[in-house]
Amino acid sequence: MAEVKSQSKPRTLLRKSATVIDFIPLIGTILSLPLSIIPRSYDVMDANGEKVAEMNGRISIRDRFDLEIESQSVPTEALVTALVCVDAIQ
């Protein structure tokens, strides 16, 4: 069992605001692009609350991430799968 948490709530709010701003014709399209490329960063915590991995995004139009696994208490395949799912939802 593991929990994925965002490292920065303000950064998450900025990225989420891009979705809302995108509904404004023309202006929304122009403003939402810079907000949507803000990188995402997550910590993965195990059932005991200890950090087992960290995912850091890079500034890019396409999604790019660095995954640092600090503990083997959660299987690598499960970490990668969970982080791909979290990225797709975000």
pLDDT tens, position by position, 53-70: 988 888 766 778 888 998
3-state secondary structure 33-62: HHHHCCCCEEEEEECCCCEEEEEEECCCCC
| Res. 24: pLDDT tops 80 | no
* Per-residue confidence band for 32, with pLDDT thresholds at 50, 70 and 90: low
What tokens appear for 70 in the block?
């600090």
State the average pLDDT over residues 25-49: 76
* Per-residue confidence band for 82, with pLDDT thresholds at 50, 70 and 90: confident
- Arithmetic mean of pLDDT over the chain: 78
